[in-house]
Chain A
């Protein structure tokens, strides 16, 4: 199953990933950054395993991210 890697500390809170795929991305009210839904943190990088069907929307989100902090691994 594919995996998302999210370098959350570099997020500028632009809202784009959340606009594109709100099932996987949420804006945190605590610090204004985007949070990876069901993500787990490993050494500062947030990770989540996702079903194949979610790939296209997350690929869109990754491409749209202005600071390129969303990476998808198959």
Chain B
């Protein structure tokens, strides 16, 4: 199974490469579903993204998956053209205008989950345009398996002449609306989710008021519209049995450490499955690691046939760790593995867990073992100090350095 990683910035691209993704997906300009949260990559960046991935034999897919208007036609044409020139492996889309443009220019197409493909006849219909189809996230694994089997039975082939491959979401945020087709953000803030500008107001708490009596209804779970995050790592064996070809990890709006940790865990899990080494002990360890990065609590989505969704218990994240910015790398001496760092915020002590992130560096984790100030080795350094720090993996000037600390959520649940 191919692991497809989300890329919303140069940092997360590098993190996806380091974590062992088989492919990445990213968006450019305003026609992708993360215009508010992902750092804006542009048409000019496409070539470099493809180049950096090609060096590691990683496939690239570009999301061109918003609702399209007439005034977008020329930009759609330019983006498809740039993808063709740069050698992007496929474009992920749900609007027919993009299907048509890809066909005209001879660029491979994947059908986005926004198209809400939930049955084999829809797969057959889209096979005229696409070699890979992302199924709706609301299907059960049984339904997914049935679709994959029928593709072979009916010999449904895509434009390349090969059997259509099925992709599903394996991990990340879920939406309260089916296949992300939501009107809430537009209704409340004029900010259309279908143009990538979702304000995520479903993630807030709400009260329900009976307008006749004025009574407020109590809802046991206050985050009634905010679904927990999907996590399939503990039943990945069942996912593999369906015959899906691609596992997509959601999170183009999330940071590089999220991309690294998530992709790495799924990489290890898929490898373990292939080697017959997928065990409950490993699953527990992966889940613990997945818990350290942004999440709203995990559930198994709709794959195992639950009747109702599970709703988040928190406003933001249930992550057990958070990163606190402490400063930037001023210089790195690769031969001795030492970085010079200006402590711009907070203090640093030996034993602290560190995270370095940068556009070229991606994500590097380390621990403070030795630390020097001007007058020799120290155990602690205060804000404003210029510190020499041993960091084994190569980092770069300008990279940001964070300290990992337990979140309030982790402290509260521990106490």
Interface residues of A (CB under 8 A from B): 11-16, 27-33, 64-67
A32 adjacent to B75 (CB under 8 Å): yes
Contacts of A16 in B (CB 8 A): 190
Contacts of A30 in B (CB 8 A): 74-75
- When C-beta atoms are compared, the residue in chain B nearest to A64 turns out to be B190
A32, chain B: closest CB distance, angstroms: 4
Contacts of B72 in A (CB 8 A): 13, 32
- The answer, yes or no, to whether B197 is at the interface (CB within 8 Å) is yes
B75 adjacent to A12 (CB under 8 Å): no
A66 adjacent to B190 (CB under 8 Å): yes
- The answer, yes or no, to whether B18 is at the interface (CB within 8 Å) is no
Contact residues on B (Cβ < 8 Å of other chain), bracket: 10 to 19
Given contacts A13-B75, A31-B29, A65-B190, 7 further A-B contacts (CB under 8 A): A13-B71, A13-B195, A15-B69, A32-B30, A33-B30, A66-B192, A67-B197
Give the secondary structure class of A's interface: loop
B98, chain A: closest CB distance, angstroms: 13
A selection of 23 A-B contacts at a CB cut-off of 8 Å is: A11-B30, A12-B30, A13-B30, A13-B71, A13-B75, A13-B195, A14-B190, A15-B71, A16-B190, A27-B69, A28-B71, A29-B71, A32-B30, A32-B71, A32-B74, A32-B75, A64-B190, A65-B190, A66-B189, A66-B190, A66-B195, A66-B197, A67-B35
Contacts of B71 in A (CB 8 A): 13, 15, 27-29, 32
A19, chain B: closest CB distance, angstroms: 11
Contacts of A14 in B (CB 8 A): 190, 192, 195, 197
B191 adjacent to A66 (CB under 8 Å): yes
A67 adjacent to B36 (CB under 8 Å): yes
The answer for the CA separation of A13 and B31 in the assembled complex, in Å, is 9
A21, chain B: closest CB distance, angstroms: 15
With contact pairs A12-B30, A16-B190, A66-B191 given, residues A29 and B74 touching in the complex (Cβ less than 8 Å): yes
Contacts of B29 in A (CB 8 A): 31-32
- Tell me the residues in window 25-60 of chain B with beta carbons closer than 8 Å to chain A beta carbons: 29-31, 35-36
B72, chain A: closest CB distance, angstroms: 4
The answer for the CA separation of A32 and B195 in the assembled complex, in Å, is 12
A12 adjacent to B35 (CB under 8 Å): yes
Identify which of A16, A32, A64 gathers the most chain B CB atoms within 10 Å of its CB. Answer: A32
- When C-beta atoms are compared, the residue in chain B nearest to A65 turns out to be B190
- When C-beta atoms are compared, the residue in chain B nearest to A14 turns out to be B195
- When C-beta atoms are compared, the residue in chain A nearest to B72 turns out to be A32
A31 adjacent to B74 (CB under 8 Å): yes
- The answer, yes or no, to whether B196 is at the interface (CB within 8 Å) is yes
- When C-beta atoms are compared, the residue in chain A nearest to B71 turns out to be A27
Identify which of A16, A28, A64, A66 gathers the most chain B CB atoms within 10 Å of its CB. Answer: A66
Identify which of B30, B72, B192, B195 gathers the most chain A CB atoms within 10 Å of its CB. Answer: B30
- Tell me the residues in window 166-225 of chain B with beta carbons closer than 8 Å to chain A beta carbons: 189-192, 195-197
The answer for the CA separation of A64 and B191 in the assembled complex, in Å, is 8
Contacts of B73 in A (CB 8 A): 29
A11, chain B: closest CB distance, angstroms: 7
